Structure 1
Amino acid sequence: MTSAVYFCDNKGKPILSRRFKDDVPLNAIDKFQVVLSDLEEESSIIPPCITHNGIQYLFIQHNDLYIVALATSLATNIAEIFTFLHKMMDILGDYLKTVEEESIRDNFVIVYELLDEMMDFGIPQITETKMLKKYITQKSFKLVRAAKKKRNAARPPSELTNSVSWRAEGIKYKKNEAFLDIIESINMLMTQNGKVLRSEILGSVKVKSRLSGMPDLKLGINDRGIFTKYLDGNNIGVTLEESDQPSKSSESSITNTNGKTKTNIELEDLKFHQCVRLSKFENEKIITFIPPDGDFELMSYRLNTVIKPLIWCNMKVKVHSKSRIEIFCTAKAQIKKKSVATNVEIIIPVPEDADTPTFKYSHGKIKWVPEQNAIVWKIHTFPGGKEYAMSAELGLPSINSEEEPKFKRPVQVKFQIPYFTTSGIQVRYLKINEPKLQYKSYPWVRYITQNGDDYTIRLS
């Protein structure tokens, strides 16, 4: 695995390092600065993995830092190293707030302590911030005071020596609840005439655990059918039953009513939290886990599939009476009538020198945002099947009569649709069992479909 981890400045010069193995020379990091400089001269695109003299330099960039991992084996798990580097930066962000060259130099003791606990002999170990903060603090005198009070040496928390290192013992709540959110973000690129050029669904299953003791949870999704293609390794799409409006339940088993529509989905990039028992999942296709306390992401996935636009906008631009343009926009919610989109924002770009806008609209609110060179049309609730329209007239000194203005930026759409999933993924049950306490628990499930970072419509 990883032989060493280095923190370098923006030129590739090492600031701080931690060596886990002795299979790389001490001066190996000096070559990184030279190789990096050569690549910057040759091309503007630098690959995140560089091989030089039999050593792999795997690095990410964060603010004014390069974080570099060195490895010598060609069998190294590259994805695991990059995941560790990103996770390490998240943890450092929790400790240092802003991770940059100056903060690394000022807090090098904390960085060394974290590296020693997060990785052992080049293999990632503890990567949960809650566990690390219990015995690595920014004020180290806290451990000294505890040692004087108890008259013995400070010891790490017991959960770090258990198999469940992500959860502490003795957690108690008056009301035991587990909240499960299935959030799907839609990324879509469309042309002005309605053709979908690219679409994908980024899904995330997030859990908020407020459960006492050491609960064991069992999660059933779509009668396990959603995982068939992922486990079997074939290229056949998985059949999912599409849910019109999933509901929540206060019982220990959650069941939702289904529609009869079926769609073929190919599941990709499935990723679990470390608390999930992978052997159980591989053998029985059931998700079982002992959850960390509080909020965490249980699972994430990606679906590359062609879907119709959920919120569609038809844009037209008309030039008239010299140096004035008029923009017409018709928005339609292409979802089922019993579904409602909320907090809809349609951001319409306009040329930089546009001024003196006047608006006409049938629903919602319209705001002129000159610092963004855009018109923002906000619709609080947008029921499925409804269609609303607006028009805006703006002064534009830079154009001549009959000249078509050019829009360099696309229209951006933001929205949320509760109780709805585009992929059709559903929770069949969420069972909670605490063998010692045997308390009554309340599981809750919520579904949300929303726009991703790239839900846009080209205007040209």
Structure 2
Amino acid sequence: MISQVFLLSAKGDHLIYKDFRGEAGRDVINVFYEKVNALPGDQPPVVMHHEGLHFVHVRQGGLYCVATTRSNPSPFTLTEFLNRLAALIRDYCGSLSEQSVSLNSALIYELLDEMLDFGYPQTSSTEILKNFIQTEAVTPKPFSLLDLRNVGLFGADTQHSKVAPSCSSLATLSTVLWLRGGKNEIFVDVIERLTVVIGSNGTLLKADIQGEIRLKCFLPSCSEMRIGLNEEFSIGKTQLRGYGAAVRVDECSFHEAVKLDEFENQRVLRVLRVTPSQGEHTVMQYQLSDELPSPPPFRLFHSLEREPSGRQENGVSPTPLSLSLSLSQELSSPDQSAELQPISRAVRWEIPRFPGGAQLSALFKLEGSGLSAASLLEVGPVSLSFELPKLTCTGLQIRFLRLSTPLPALPQRWVRYVTHSDSYTIRM
């Protein structure tokens, strides 16, 4: 259905970009804008084409709302969806403009995630979406030359935002004020790196998780922040505190600004002297070795067979050394891709989107001179590289973020969970 959705300003600035199906690259944004500018008159056609990709757009509030597709849906369906998207932005943000979209980009991305599932429209009702949207809208404030008390020409805010220390023009002053007004946010990232070795019989031979909690604060002032972790969080096997669903790690280390007086009983980290000038820092690091709380996120079922004309393998692995090799493939879905890399002697299999609980398959056939039964012994292990959003393998979660200093407006709190494959090897 819908491959991509993006919003552009009248000057072609990229405001919102969301890829749902991986059918085209981000460069299509520039292709669309060039086609719009190349057309005579002020009313470009609603539907345009480029190398098998269809652009459907509407223009509202001085912005281009664009959807792309490689299929052949009704253009009226796509224009209605874009009109509903524009109406939802007005409902949530108060207006549809370049400034309101820039201030509420996270909210709009959350709307798109709920409105579309792999490019298929789900709902566009404001009342239904209110039950799922957690991000609060940021209302743009009008610029005033009379309110310059908090504009620091050489302060940390302007330096971090790369604003020139010269405010000789109205445009520069407006930029500084917008940056200071729109940075009332807290970002907390829980990042885990996974190292796994799985034997050829499916046995887990090695498992290691390296995790950290990163904090980035853009509040004007905050003397203390309290970060609550899982109540059943245990360090070491001898400190298990609960039954069944306890989160356990082997060891932890903390930033020097973290006070642990509430950690033992309440699992709360007190972070002192939180200021934007400190930048991003790691408040906690932890490690879990030799076991995983849950099964590994990916399993691979492979088989190797030799044919009279060559060999076929099901998997992704380094190939035997040969002067000439050719690859033929059968993939279970059209969005996958695979290629033979002669320099690294490997078959690279790419899957842009892997839904939970799904099973995908591929059949690779290698043909070349010098392949024999002994060549099967040269086949190396499979290496997987992936990123899992909204997931931690340890089960670590952030229960709450609380501030000690009251603020005029509630800050935006962003918590993200990401698991990366540091090294994920499956022997064949």
Q: How high is the TM-score relative to the length of structure 1?
A: 0.48
Question: Does structure 2 retain, via aligned residues, the 8 Å contact 1:355–1:396?
Answer: yes
Per-residue CA deviations over 1:26-47 (Å, capped at 9, x if unaligned) read xxxxxxxxxxxxxxxxxxxxxx
Answer 1 or 2: which has greater strand percent.
1
Instruction: Give the letter aligned to residue 385 of structure 2.
Output: K
1:405 to 359, 376, 400: 376
How far apart are residue 405 of structure 1 and its match? 1.5
- Supply the distance in 2 between the matched residues of 1:295 and 1:416 (Cα, whole angstroms): 21
Alignment correspondent of 1:250: none
Q: Contact between 2:390 and 2:418, CA under 8 Å: does it hold in 1?
A: yes
Q: Is contact 1:316–1:327 with CA below 8 Å preserved after alignment?
A: yes
Residue 313 of structure 1: aligned partner: 300
The 1:174–1:328 alpha-carbon spacing in structure 2 relative to 1, beyond 3 Å, is closer
Question: CA contact under 8 A between 2:233 and 2:267: conserved in structure 1?
Answer: no
Q: Which residue of 1 aligns with 2:424?
A: 455
Aligned partners of 1:220 and 1:287 also within 8 Å? yes
Partner of 2:249: 267
* Cα deviation 1:301-333 (Å, max 9, x = unaligned): 1123234221111121111125x211113xxxx
Gaps of 5+ in 2: 1-155, 157-178
Aligned to 1:327: 313
1:196–1:308 Cα contact (<8 Å) kept: no
2:186 is equivalent to residue 178 of structure 1: yes
CA apart distance, 1:221: 0.6
Alignment match of 1:217 (pick from 204, 218, 225): 225
Superposed CA RMSD in Å reads 2.6
Q: Distance in 1 between matches of 2:375 and 2:359?
A: 27
**Corresponding position of 2:271:** 289
Residue 414 (structure 2) pairs with residue 434 (structure 1): no
Deviation at 1:409, TM superposition (A): 3.3
Q: Output aligned runs, 1:114-129, within 5 Å.
A: none
* CA distances 1:384-442 after superposition (whole Å, capped 9, x unpaired): 22111111111243333x4452236321111122122222211111012325x554211
Measure the CA separation in 1 of the matches of 2:275 and 2:321. Answer: 49
Question: Which of 205, 212, 222 is the aligned partner of 1:204?
Answer: 212
Aligned to 1:299: 284
Q: For the residues of structure 1 that align with 2:215 and 2:247, how far apart are their CA atoms?
A: 24
2:163 corresponds to 1:194: no
Q: Residues 281 and 308 of structure 1: is their aligned pair in 2 closer, same or farther, counting only changes over 3 Å?
A: closer
How many residue pairs get aligned? The number is 243
Whole-angstrom distance in 2 between the partners of 1:317 and 1:187: 25
Contact 1:186 1:455 in 2 (8 A): yes
Q: Distance in 2 between matches of 1:237 and 1:366?
A: 45
CA gap 1:316/1:280 in 2 versus in 1, 3 angstroms:
same
AA in 1 matched with 2:268: I
Secondary structure of the structure 2 residue equivalent to 1:218: strand
Matches within 5 A, 1:335-414: 347-353=316-322, 355-363=325-333, 364-400=336-372, 402-403=373-374, 405-407=376-378, 409-414=380-385
* TM value normalised by structure 2: 0.52
How far apart are the structure 1 equivalents of 2:230 and 2:399? 6
Give the AA of the match of 1:199: A
Inter-CA distance 299–408: structure 2 relative to 1 (3 Å threshold): farther
Share of identical aligned residues, percent? 25
Deviation by residue 1:66-112 (Cα, 9 ceiling, x = unmatched): xxxxxxxxxxxxxxxxxxxxxxxxxxxxxxxxxxxxxxxxxxxxxxx
